[in-house]
Amino acid sequence: MGDVTRILSAIEEGDAQAAENLLPAVYDELRALASQRLARERPGQTLQATALVHEAYLRLIGNEHPGWQGRAHFFAAAAEAMRRILIERARRRKRIKHGGAYKRIDFEEVDVVAGPDSIDVIALDEALDRLAEEDKIKADLVKLRYFAGLTAQQAADLLGISRATADRYWAYARAWLYHEVSKGNETRTQ
């Protein structure tokens, strides 16, 4: 049993000291996960990986009885917490009160225009919710691969499916989400 799994078990048993030991044990991995996630955000993102890690960690530890079933479950929960934080921030930025009616442009990057690789996090989240209604396991696979940064094999192991099935589901989910997000973009521009 690894250190993280041992600490999670101690937290589950009510050991208050264990919660203090968890952050140092997982910090580097959470920071790498946050950095990967933020690298996929649109240009102009002001949230730093460190802040994202700390906010996600506070949400995870804030749960009375999280019931994590090991290391993989903890990191999946961390990825989900980070996803929710980024979605909330994206929604807040789009509100008129926060300048949502205006296009944000960084002063230093006036000549740079966001390319087609930029992802609308809100549209992706809405499409992901629709995918979850149709096929929860495919939506969970996307969350683990895209938001948690897990490999296909790691996600397959966590979901209890074969690597080949995970690859098929991943290809389907990516195409399905691309179609849904593109369809949503066309509707918003009309």
Q: What is the CATH number of the domain that holds 129?
A: 1.10.10.10
Q: Do 96 and 132 sit in the same domain of this protein?
A: no
Q: 10 Å Cβ neighbour count for 182?
A: 12
pLDDT reported for residue 99: 52
Selected residue with higher pLDDT from 86 and 119: 86
Whether 136 shows a pLDDT value over 90: the answer reads yes
- pTM across the whole model: 0.51
Domain's final residue, options 95, 111, 127: 111
Orientation angle between helical segments 163-189 and 152-159, nearest 10 degrees: 100
Task: Give me the chain's average pLDDT, please.
Answer: 76
For range 104-123, the mean pLDDT: 52
Q: Calculate the dihedral angle through the C-alpha atoms of 157, 162, 167, 173, rounding to the nearest 10 degrees.
A: -80
Q: How far apart are CA 111 and CA 80, in angstroms?
A: 34
Residue type, 100: G
Q: Do 188 and 97 sit in the same domain of this protein?
A: no
Domain's final residue, options 85, 111, 137: 111
Least confident piece of the model among 26-30, 75-79, 123-127, 181-185:
181-185
pLDDT reported for residue 66: 63
Selected residue with higher pLDDT from 56 and 2: 56
pLDDT reported for residue 110: 39
As given in the structure block, the two tokens for residue 170 are: 């991943």
Q: How does residue 168 score in pLDDT terms, banded at 50, 70 and 90?
A: very high
> 8: domain range?
1-111
For range 9-19, the mean pLDDT: 74
Number of domains in the chain: 2
* Cα–Cα nearest to 73, from 169, 133, 143, 14: 143
If phi > 0 it is left, if psi is from -120 to 50 it is alpha, else beta; for residue 161 that is beta
For range 105-116, the mean pLDDT: 42
Q: To the nearest whole percent, how much of the chain has pLDDT over 90?
A: 14
Selected residue with higher pLDDT from 93 and 173: 173
pLDDT reported for residue 58: 83
pLDDT reported for residue 163: 93
Query: Which range has highest mean pLDDT (63-67, 111-115, 132-136, 146-150)?
Result: 132-136
Q: How far apart are CA 54 and CA 34, in angstroms?
A: 10
Q: Do 24 and 92 sit in the same domain of this protein?
A: yes
